Structure 1
Amino acid sequence: MYAKLNTLPALLALLALGSAAHADDILQTRVDATIRPVMAEHDIAGMAVAITHNGQAHYFNYGVARLDDPQPVSSDTLFEIGSLSKPLTATLAALAQATGKLTLTDSAGQHWPELQGSQLEHASLLNLGTYTAGGLPLQFPDNVTDPASMLDYYRQWQPEYAAGTHRRYSNPSIGLLGMLAAKSMGKPFPTLMEGTLFPALGMSHSYIQVPTAQLPRYAFGYSKDNQPLRVTPGMLDAEAYGVKTTARDMLRFVQANLNPAGLNKDLQRAIAMTHTGYYRVGEMTQGLGWERYPYPISLERLQAGNSPAMALESQPATRLAPPESEPSDTLFNKTGSTGGFGAYAVFVPSQNLGLVMLANKNYPNAARIKAAHAILNALDKNAAQY
């Protein structure tokens, strides 16, 4: 039965006939068959998976939020999403432009006068948001522990490349964009995220600092040897990797990206800015927070775009002039990790299809991509050949 029904034609036929319950059962079987082996292979305590297809949300939950108190994972369990926070930071920065507080072509020095005289003074906010300022590293050095040492680091930093010629994935880069966007809007970054952006997106249980009342829903992450972990505070952690959220809220964010028509006009413009392509890096197009690929796409190409080399090494980048609006067939994605959590989000606007996977273990990106690719293929006939 399963072998015959676990196919796209069978699923689409049931949907067309209105057999929603049967279609949901098939989708549950497909997601179970994909997610459970990943959890077993990587010893993952809990996962929350959320899918949106043609505007319909589906939720699938597995395992436990914490090993010492086996509360089942739900769609409202709070997970750390690490660098999957970056598209949200980018959306806030784009909203600052949409509301006239800044433009992405502004220099960093315009919004932080203390950078004047440094190599970063003339780097654009777009360079910061696309990791093309000249080679800012993945992380701050260990001696950067407070605002004074952070400013000193930025003032002393020397680029490896001319701005706009190479992409080097960097928390200090997009973190600085988030900080400067907040400065332009006149409020602290956490206040703007929790008080402005999250509510506007319908993300009612998303936080930079988890309130005491919400701590029972906050999962523990786990190390390779299953020691409990939560994210360690650091400079610009909120801006670069600080969001704690649920599968339900993250799916709302994905749905807002798929169909922003119900949002206010400024936020619609902001989301369009994050989808715009600014630099070509191999087969990937760097948006603002999001990373773009032509769709359909093979598993191997998508894994290569999310490989350690893309995260850890500088890559030649070609500026797109003018910036490239969203093509008709495009896949957007972003991974995110902290020491104890692993997250992934992917969506395809032309198919009105999106997927969120949140786990309380930092497992390899290649495994996340493989699982997501299999689920997408089960839902989209155009991807099934890839």
Structure 2
Amino acid sequence: MALSSELRPSSEKEINSFTRKSFGVRSVKDPEPINSDTQFCIGSFSKPFASATIFVLAQNNRLSLNTRINRWLPEFAKPSIVGSETPTRSPNLLELLAHRGGIYSQKRGMNRRQARWIRDFRLTLEEAVNGIAGEELIYKPGTEYAYSGAGYCVLGRVAEVVLGQSFETLLQQRLAQPLQLERTTYFPDPEDPNIATGSIKGNPNPATPIFRLTFTYRSSEAVSIPRQGTPLVLPE
């Protein structure tokens, strides 16, 4: 199915065909049963949301997937590679989408500073990507695969620059609203009690962003439920 700004379910019958069944509780400290409106932090499964938003923009000729990102983010103009003194080119959008952009990977080990750019939810997306731009690439773009949450932060920032809107606004206008994903967002309300949280050592995981007084979700971190569907916990 092609993606476009008019992306919609084929019919109300299709929407209502979902089976609504929920199992479990909101957290180890909250015995309230989850329901079809409970939001879950779906971690890296929100990357398909981010990539679908990028593809919608490409299909509407707002950007080209083969364009190098330094067109919009000049701080990536001459990135260096770990262990090399020779600058290389910046990755293009397609390489970032495929985790082949050379941006550092949490699966290959990252230092505390690199972790901050993708885990400190007090940073704006612009601030985080400025930090990512200061890190060396781990290989020449397009030559290897390395799963990269940081690369998807960069994708989100490109979309923001292209249209002059926040990535949350783009997600809502281009994807969530047409698909009637009414509780899919990068900015859940911290006061909303109907949000499920994971646990660690028998307690709610303190790294969960909704426990922070101030936070900004990344283009690789979202909370969501399928409208009138069955909530699923999806690991990062």
For the superposition of Structure 1 and Structure 2, which TM-score range results when normalised by the shorter chain?
0.7 to 0.9
TM-score, normalisation: structure 2: 0.72
Alpha-carbon deviations, 1:74-110, whole Å to 9, x = none?
A: 1211111000100000011111112221110010101
Aligned counterparts of 1:204 and 1:77: Cα–Cα separation in 2: 11
SS of the equivalent of 1:201 reads coil
Alpha-carbon deviations, 1:228-273, whole Å to 9, x = none?
A: 12524899852012x1112436x5xxxxxxxxxxxxxxxxxxxxxx
In the alignment, is residue 128 of structure 1 matched against residue 96 of structure 2? yes
Aligned counterparts of 1:153 and 1:79: Cα–Cα separation in 2: 27
Aligned counterparts of 1:63 and 1:122: Cα–Cα separation in 2: 45
Residue of structure 2 equivalent to 1:98: 59
- Counterpart of 1:228, as a letter, is P
Are the counterparts in 2 of residues 171 and 240 from structure 1 also a CA contact under 8 Å? Answer: yes
In the alignment, is residue 118 of structure 1 matched against residue 79 of structure 2? yes
Which of 1 and 2 has greater Rg? 1
Corresponding residue to 1:220 among 188, 193, 197? 197
Are the counterparts in 1 of residues 104 and 150 from structure 2 also a CA contact under 8 Å? Answer: yes
Are the counterparts in 1 of residues 129 and 153 from structure 2 also a CA contact under 8 Å? Answer: no
SS of the equivalent of 1:89 reads helix
Are the counterparts in 1 of residues 53 and 175 from structure 2 also a CA contact under 8 Å? Answer: yes
Residue of structure 1 equivalent to 2:172: 194
Higher relative contact order (CA 8 A, sep 6+): 2
Aligned counterparts of 1:235 and 1:172: Cα–Cα separation in 2: 17
Residue of structure 2 equivalent to 1:36: none
Residue of structure 1 equivalent to 2:136: 157
- Counterpart of 1:163, as a letter, is P
SS of the equivalent of 1:65 reads strand
> Which has the larger strand fraction?
1
Residue of structure 1 equivalent to 2:233: 359
Aligned counterparts of 1:98 and 1:216: Cα–Cα separation in 2: 38
Aligned length: 202
Superposed displacement of residue 185, structure 1: 1.8
Superposed displacement of residue 138, structure 1: 2.1
Are the counterparts in 2 of residues 175 and 236 from structure 1 also a CA contact under 8 Å? Answer: no
Unpaired runs of 5+ residues, structure 1, are 1-52, 252-355, 366-386
Residue of structure 2 equivalent to 1:181: 159
Alpha-carbon deviations, 1:123-142, whole Å to 9, x = none?
A: 11111111001352127642
- Counterpart of 1:71, as a letter, is E
Superposed displacement of residue 118, structure 1: 2.0
The verdict on how the C-alpha distance between 1:235 and 1:98 changes in structure 2, with shifts beyond 3 A counting, is: farther
CA RMSD of aligned residues (A): 3.2
In the alignment, is residue 239 of structure 1 matched against residue 213 of structure 2? no
Aligned counterparts of 1:90 and 1:115: Cα–Cα separation in 2: 20
The verdict on how the C-alpha distance between 1:148 and 1:92 changes in structure 2, with shifts beyond 3 A counting, is: closer
- Percent of matched pairs sharing the same residue: 21
Aligned counterparts of 1:235 and 1:135: Cα–Cα separation in 2: 23
SS of the equivalent of 1:118 reads coil
Unpaired runs of 5+ residues, structure 2, are 1-13, 81-87, 118-122
Q: How does 1:134-145 map to 2 (within 5 A)?
A: 134=102, 136-138=104-106, 141-143=111-113, 144-145=116-117
Aligned counterparts of 1:190 and 1:217: Cα–Cα separation in 2: 20
Are the counterparts in 2 of residues 96 and 184 from structure 1 also a CA contact under 8 Å? Answer: no
